[in-house]
Amino acid sequence: MNRRLLLVVLVLGSLVGLFVFGTESENPGASTFSVLGPPGMPFAPTQVGINSSWFCAGVPATSQRGGDVIVTNPTAVPLRGRITVFSTSRKVVMQDISVGARDSGSFALEKLATGDYLSAFVELDGGLGIVEQRVRHPNGRSLSPCSNAPSSNWYLADGITLSAGYDLVVTNPFPDYTNITVSVLTADGVRTPAKLQNQTIAGQSVLKIDLEQFGLRDEQLLAVEVNSTPERVVVSRAQNYYGGLGRNGYAMTLGAPSTDNRWFFADGEKAGNTSESLTLLNPSELPASVTVQVFTATEGGDEFVAVQIYDVAEGSVVKVDVDAITGLPNGRHTLVVDSPEVGIVAEQVITRGSGGGAVTVVSLGARVSSKRWWVPTALQDVNEAAMVVMNQTGDSGTFSLFTLGPGGLQPVPGFQKVALPVASDFVGGFVDVDLSGTGLIGQPILVETTVDSVVLRRPNRGTGMKGRTSVLAVPEI
């Protein structure tokens, strides 16, 4: 069974509805869950299941901080179900939810519950939909799709505590307690803080772990592995950057629930005010030979080698300085990371700007390609590089844009069957989508391609804030 079909069978259609405020339940019953396996990257299934579920990474809920769960229903029928909000305070809130046909909306979690961090579990009684979460933070907004399932193993390749805060946020969505073990890889080797070995997490609760409180201060490289038993969990990383390694901004990132052999990165750039790196984590007991392929917008000089090979020892992490690749031409590029023999986790770090105006984005690569990608959370503004479409199939194709409205999917004029070229000798294979002047604000977008592709969006950081983040669109599988 191929991986795409396996994912579909495992999740039976992890789907969502939009939240309509209901009455808080003082004694909520036990949540019910689909029988799910560990997911890969979040995706929008195309098959209806009996129950469909999304698990959100968590949002801070202290002063001037909060977050929204955003639900999009692309179907012609309403969706109904339940939302359960978990908290570091261990209070659980459950309420009925509903979303209209071809509609979307957001729900502020801090209006339902209190605690340092809140996370949400959304379950629908059948139907198809997509759920994302958006953190509202004074240092910038952070958007990410929610997970299709919890997992017993989670990996976060990148991280620092040098002039940066690092909270590990772990949600146990099940009624029974579970235990977690946290291992941390630093430049000096493996660290296993005693209090984070066999740490108990109460049922239906969120645990905040401030890594600095466990002797992990001023670290320039932190890779984290979290294992849980008997119940599965959801793990994310909250990083507030304030100058360490030149990083600034805020990022709330869902971890990787498993390793993989290939990772696609559609956002890359070499410029005077931009720094870029890859962090490669090999949590296995075997060494990995990792190939990084760079696809540039323009042809490089004779000294440029587009294929780089890195040895990542078992149980170790390697940081790749992309800017330092000899002869890498200035301008945009994309990357493909391959580890054919041993599964790894790959994350990209891009900082654009300098000083207080710098914006840092940390993101996992895409693990699949697809012909249909959703931008379910509407863009708040549009510009010349609002999206990137990446083609690594070896075949030329086209892409088309559609907006979701009351009448269904509507084609966007000027964006039908746009050329999507193939890479040739490591040049090309991607298109920056210029949406300036289109007015595509406040509408979910579907990107449809004639060849398997990877789609990335670049939303702004919030009203009045400089810079943009990078977020993968949500593929249909």
Pairing of strands 117-124, 52-55: antiparallel
Q: Which amino acid is at 406?
A: P
Query: Count of domains in the chain?
Result: 4
Q: What is the mean pLDDT of residues 307-311?
A: 98
Do 349 and 377 fall into the same domain? Answer: no
Do 8 and 95 fall into the same domain? Answer: yes
Do 380 and 440 fall into the same domain? Answer: yes
For 42-52, the pLDDT digits (tens) are 998 877 666 77
Alpha helix stretches (DSSP H) within 227-330: none
Q: What's the confidence (pLDDT) of residue 432?
A: 95
Do 352 and 467 fall into the same domain? Answer: no
- For residue 473, the Cα-to-chain-centroid distance in whole angstroms is 9
Do 223 and 271 fall into the same domain? Answer: no
Contact 400, 448 (CB under 8 A): yes
Q: In the block, which residue shows the tokens 């017993």?
A: 152
Distance from C-alpha of 377 to C-alpha of 131, rounded to nearest angstrom? 9
Asked if residue 311 is part of any domain, the answer here is yes
Domain boundary among 105, 134, 163: 134
Helix and strand element counts for the chain (H, E): 1, 36
- What is the average pLDDT score of the chain? 89
For 236-282, the pLDDT digits (tens) are 999 999 999 999 999 999 999 999 999 999 999 999 999 999 999 99
Asked if residue 143 is part of any domain, the answer here is no
Q: What is the mean pLDDT of residues 332-348?
A: 98
Q: Check: pTM over 0.85? Answer yes or no.
A: yes
Distance from C-alpha of 55 to C-alpha of 40, rounded to nearest angstrom? 13
Asked if residue 49 is part of any domain, the answer here is yes
Distance from C-alpha of 177 to C-alpha of 201, rounded to nearest angstrom? 6
Q: In which domain, by residue range, is 355 found?
A: 262-364
Q: Nearest-CA neighbor of 56 among 109, 11, 94, 102?
A: 109
Do 394 and 345 fall into the same domain? Answer: no
Do 243 and 173 fall into the same domain? Answer: yes
Asked if residue 140 is part of any domain, the answer here is no
Q: Nearest-CA neighbor of 16 among 89, 94, 97, 108?
A: 97
Domain boundary among 341, 364, 387: 364
Residue 184 sits in a domain whose CATH number is 2.60.290.11
Per DSSP, which regions of 4-149 are E strands? 52-55, 59-60, 66-73, 79-87, 93-99, 103-108, 117-124, 130-136, 142-145
Asked if residue 44 is part of any domain, the answer here is yes
For 168-182, the pLDDT digits (tens) are 999 999 999 999 999
Name the pLDDT band for 138 (thresholds 50, 70, 90): very high
Dmax over CA atoms of the chain, in Å, equals: 68
- Per-residue DSSP letter, 424: B
What residues pair up with 191 in beta bridges, in sequence order? 184
Do 356 and 411 fall into the same domain? Answer: no
Do 98 and 183 fall into the same domain? Answer: no
Domain boundary among 364, 390, 409: 364
